[in-house]
Structure 1
C-alpha cells in the first residue's frame, strides 16, 4: 500500500479529501495531511511518501516551489497538482514534465479516484521495471570494504548483538565467517616511518597490506580485515573447509602450521613489495563470535609485552595456554558508553548497562575496593554530566544521595554501590520525565485553548505553531504522544461537536453554522458532517428534536 500526502492551506479541503475518499480501494494505505509547504517538507523528510497532491496558491512557499523541491530531493515521489482554472495555463508552463497530472477544482470524487488510481498504477509499474534494486546493490558493493571493516571493529570492541543479528549482517555483507567457526587474529603494527605519511597515503598503504593479506592467505583461510582504534591492522582468519585442526601434524595441527607459515610469508611480502617493516602477532584460536573480543584484548596485551618498541622482530605466535593477566573492568568501557545512553535518554538501556557492570563487579572484583571505586567515579561523572546538561547541580537532583556519594559510602561494597546507583537513577529519571511531561502538557493545554478560541477561523497547524513558537512537526508529534490523537483530528472532532451542538441548541441556518465552525463552503461542511455523523446536518437537527 502506498503513502499519500495532501497539501492545502485550506484545512477543510484537506480534511474533506482525507475522510471522504476511499483511498484504500485504490491502493493508498496511509494518508498524511499538511497545511503548508513547510509542513509538507517536514513530513517528506521523515516518511517515505509515494504520492503528493498539492494546491498551487499557498502562503509562503507555494505549490510550484514545493513540487520543485520534491522532484529535486525525492525523485521517486509522484506529484499531482490541485489547481483552479485561472491558474491552469500558468501551471502547465511553469512545471510541465515535473508532475503526473492536474486536478482542476472543483473535481468530482469519481474523477479524482480515477485519476489518482492511474498514478498509483504508474508507480507500481515503475517499481517493477526500474533499477532501484540494482543501484542499491551497486552502492552496497562500492562500500563493502568500509562496512566490513566497521562491523569487525565494532565486534572487536565488544559491541553486543544477538547471534541472529550477527549472522544476518555477515550474510548481507558477504563475509564467509559464521557463528561457531574457529578463528585466529593477526595483529599488524606499522613502524615509525608510516607516521610520516599523510592520511591518503596511509589509506593506500593499509589497502595494499590488506590486499597482500588476502592473496597470501586465500588458499587456506577466509580473511576479514579492519583497522582497530589503536591503528593496528587486524586480520581475522577462519579456516576454509577441509583444513584440519587435529594435533597429529607436526607443529600442532594443519591449520596452525599453515597459519604460522603464511603469517611469516605475509611479513616478508610486505617488506619485499612495499619496502616496509611490520610487526605481526598471531593470536590463539577462538570460537566466533563469543570469544572474539576476549582473544583480541588478550592479543593486544601480549603484543605490548612481547614487542614493546622493537622494530625488527619475527612473527610471534601466542601459545594456546598463553594469556595476559587482565585486571581491568570490561563492561564499564565497552560500547555504548553509559554517558551516551543517558544523553540519549535511553533509560532502559542505561539500566541494562549498569546492571551488567555491577554483575561483572560481583563476579570478578567484589573484594577489590579499587575496582568498586573506579565504577563509582565513572558513574558519578556520568550522572553529573547529565545534571549539568539540564542546567542543574547534581546535588539538586539527588538530594541526600549526593552526600552519601561525597563521603564515598557507596564504595564500601558492591551491594552498597548498587543501592546508591539505583536510588540516584530513580531521582534522575523522575526529574527528566517530569520535566518532559510538564513541558508537553503545557503545550497541549495552550494548543487546545487556542483552537477553541479560533475555531471559527481557518485554524491550522501552522497558525498554532506560530502562536506557540514551536516547529509544526514537533508540535504535531508531542500532541499525538500526550493525547493519543492527531492534532488535525482533534480540530476536526471539535468542529463536528460544536456544529452538532449548534444544530440542536440554535435555529441558525446550516450555512451560518458552517461559517461558525470554520467552513466557508457549506457543501464541504455538509459532506464532512455526513461522513462523521452518518446524516446530513438537516436530518441530524430533525432527529434531535
Structure 2
C-alpha cells in the first residue's frame, strides 16, 4: 500500500484527480489532497509520503521548493510535477532537483495515472535493489558473530533441537567446523579484573583474550565465543586433511597440541594484558549431540575450585571415571538428566510465543525423562523441580493474560496453589500440566480471534454510522488505534475484501435507500453518503450498477406503480 499526495492551487484539478485515484484498481492507495504547498507540508509532516503529485507553479511556495522539503522528510518519495507550461527551464529545474516525471495538464488523466503507476513500480524495484541487498549483506556480516554465539550457546545449553544441527546451518553462519566430526571443548574464564580496568573496557579485553588464543591455536579449526561475562568457549577440530577422514592419530596430536598450548596462552594473557585466566579442557573429543553434557562437566570443574582458584589448567578426565550404578538410570547420570530437564525453561518461550506444537513436543520429551526416573528415590528432587517449574510458569502466564477466571471454570486450579503431593503419581501430574497447557493455548488463540473480530466489527460500525464523514484509512486506523497499513492488511485478510471497496459498497447501499425518497436531490443524496460531488457520485454509481442514480430512481418508482 502506498500514500499519494495531490497538490494544486486549483481545487477542480485536485478534486478530479482525487476521485480518479480513489477508484483506481491498479494499486491500493491512501490518497491525500492539499490546495497549497504549505498545507501539503503539514500533511507530509504527519504521514509518510510515497508519491507526491504537485503543480509546479503555485502562489507562495512552488512545486520545486515543496519537493526539497518533502524529500527532507521522506527521501525515498517520488515527486511528479504537473504544469500548464512546457517551458524547458521548468522541466530542467524539476528533474535536477530529483523529480521523477513531468506531466503537462493538457495531456489528460491517463498520463497522470500512468506516471503514478511508473512511480509505484520504481518504489517496488528500489525495495529489491542491489543497494538494499548489499546493505543487508553488510548488516548480516556484522551480526554474524552474534548469531554464531546465540546458535552455539543454545547448543551447549542443550536447547538446540537436533533438526537444527546441520552442516548447512554451520555453513550459513560461517562456523568453520564439521558436524560429521567430533569436537573438543575448552572453557576459559577470566579470573579477576584488575582495578584499573574500566567497565567499558572489559568486552574489548575479552576479545583480546580470544584473539590471543586463536593465534596460538591457528593450526587447528577453531571458533570461540563468550557464553557469559568473563567466560569464553573454544570449539576445536583438527585441520581438514586432503583426501582422507580424520584418524585417531589426528585427534591424539590435536589433544596434545591443545594441552601443551593452553599454558602458553595463559602466559601471553598475563604478560600482554595483565589478566589471569583459567582453562578447563575436555579429556577427549565429544559428539555434537553430547556437547551440552560435556560443557556441563567443564562448568562443574570451575565451580569446584582448586588451590587459589586462579590461573588453573583443569581437565575433566577425572569426571569420566565409571559412574556409580546407584547414581545412574537407564545409562543416564544425574548430569545427563539435569541437562534434559534444563529445557523446561524453553517451555515458557514457546508458551509466550503461542507455539503450541513446539511446546508440546518439548513437554513430551521432558515428560519421557521424568517417567524414566520416577521410581528412583535418588532422583525424586528432579521431579519436584519439574512440577514447581511447570506450576510457576503456568501460574505466571495466567496472571499475565488475565486467564485465571477462565481457566478456573474449565480446570481444577488447586494443584497450582497447593504444595507438592496433590498428584499420586508423575503420570497424573504429567497429564494435568499437558492438559492445562492446551487450555492456555486455546484461550489465547480464541482471545486473539475475538479481539480481531471486535476490531473488524468496530470498523464496520464506524463506517455505517459515519458514511458522510471522512472515512480515510488514516481516520479509521486512528479510531481503532492501529497503523493504517496494518489495518488495511488485517481487514483484507479477515473480511476478504479491501476496506475501500467495503466503504463504497455501504455508501451505494445507503444511496439506493435514499434515492427512494423523490424529495431528495441527487446532490443531497451524494453528500449524505460521503461523495463530494454529484458528478463523482453519478460516475461511481453508474460504474457499479450500470445505470445513473436518476435512472435507478425512475426504475424504483415504476416498480411501485
Give the aligned partner of residue 102 of structure 1: 81
Structure 1 residues 17 and 366 mapped into 2: Cα distance closer, same or farther (>3 Å)? farther
2:534 maps to 1:522: yes
Give the Å deviation of 1:115: 1.7
1:352-363 correspondence to structure 2 within 5 Å? 352-363=361-372
Aligned partner of 2:395 among 360, 363, 384: 384
Q: Please show how residues 86-165 of structure 1 align to structure 2 within 5 Å.
A: 89-96=61-68, 98=71, 99-103=78-82, 108-119=108-119, 131-160=131-160, 163=163
1:62 & 1:235 partners in 2: Cα distance? 62
Stretch moving more, 303-312 or 205-214: 303-312
Specify whether residues 57 and 352 from structure 1 end up closer, same or farther in structure 2 by C-alpha distance, changes over 3 A only. farther
Distance 1:151 1:429, change over 3 A: closer
Higher relative contact order (CA 8 A, sep 6+): 1
- For 1:311, the equivalent position in structure 2 comes to 310
Query: For residues 248 and 159 of structure 2, what CA distance do their matches in structure 1 show?
Result: 33
Q: Which moved more, 1:203-212 or 1:429-438?
A: 429-438
Structure 1: runs of 5 or more not aligned: 24-30, 36-53, 72-76
Partner of 1:299: 298
Quote how far apart the aligned CAs of 1:247 are: 3.5
1:516 Cα deviation from its structure 2 partner: 3.2
Which stretch of the first structure deviates more once superposed, 144-153 or 475-484? 475-484
1:236 is matched with 235
What is the CA deviation profile of residues 55-79 of structure 1, one whole-angstrom value per residue up to 9, with x for unaligned ones?
3369xx96425546888xxxxx853
Q: Choose 1 or 2 for highest CA Rg.
A: 2
Asked whether the 8 Å contact 2:18–2:33 carries over to 1, the reply is no
Tell me the SS of whatever aligns to 2:260: helix
Task: Provide the C-alpha distance between the structure 2 equivalents of 1:188 and 1:446, rounded to a whole number of angstroms.
Answer: 59
State the partner residue of 1:415.
Answer: 427
Give the equivalent residue in structure 2 for 1:259: 258
Using the size of structure 1 for normalisation, the TM-score is: 0.75
Equivalent residue number for residue 98 of structure 2: none
Task: State whether residues 476 and 486 of structure 1, in contact with CA within 8 Å, keep that contact through their aligned partners in structure 2.
Answer: yes
Residue of structure 1 in register with 2:34 after alignment: 56
1:276 maps to 275
SS at match of 1:205: helix
Distance 1:262 1:383, change over 3 A: same
Which residues of 2 match residues 306-345 of structure 1 at below 5 A? 307=306, 310-316=309-315, 318=317, 321=320, 325-326=334-335, 328-334=337-343, 337-345=346-354
CA shift digits 1:299-338 (9 cap, x unpaired): 2234434758622433536479558751654355438633
Match of 2:467 in 1: 455
CA distance in 1, matches of 2:53, 2:259: 69
Q: What is the SS of the residue equivalent to 2:413?
A: helix
Deviation (angstroms), 1:384: 1.7
SS at match of 1:192: coil
Closer, same or farther in 2 for the Cα pair 1:534/1:257, shift >3 Å?
Answer: farther
Aligned length: 505
Cα distance in 2 for residues equivalent to 1:177 and 1:400: 49
> SS at 1:380's partner residue?
helix
Q: Conserved in 1, the CA contact under 8 Å of 2:301 and 2:316?
A: no
Q: Cα gap change, 1:140/1:464 in structure 2, threshold over 3 Å: closer, same or farther?
A: closer
| Alpha-carbon distance in 1 for matches of 2:517, 2:5 | 35
Q: Please give the TM-score of this superposition, normalised by the length of structure 2.
A: 0.74
Deviation per residue, 1:480-533 (Å, 9 max, x gap): 565444443322221233345556886966544433321112343344345545
Q: 1:319-370 CA distances to partner (integer Å, 9 max, x unpaired)?
A: 7955875165435543863334434444444434433322332245564443
More off after superposition, 513-522 vs 436-445: 436-445
- Alignment partner, residue 327 of structure 2: none
8 A contact 2:298–2:316 mirrored in 1: no
Partners of 2:443 and 2:136 lie apart in 1 by 45
The superposition leaves residues 249-302 of structure 1 with CA deviations (integer Å, 9 ceiling, x where unpaired) of 7xx7233233323334323332343333321122231234x3332332232234
Instruction: Pick closer, same or farther for the CA change 1:287–1:531 going to 2, 3 Å.
Output: farther
Distance 2:426 2:6 in 1: 61
Alignment gaps of 5+ in structure 2: 8-13, 72-77, 84-104, 324-332
Distance in 1 separating the partners of 2:43 and 2:307: 62
**2:468–2:529 contact (8 Å) kept in structure 1:** yes
SS at match of 2:412: helix
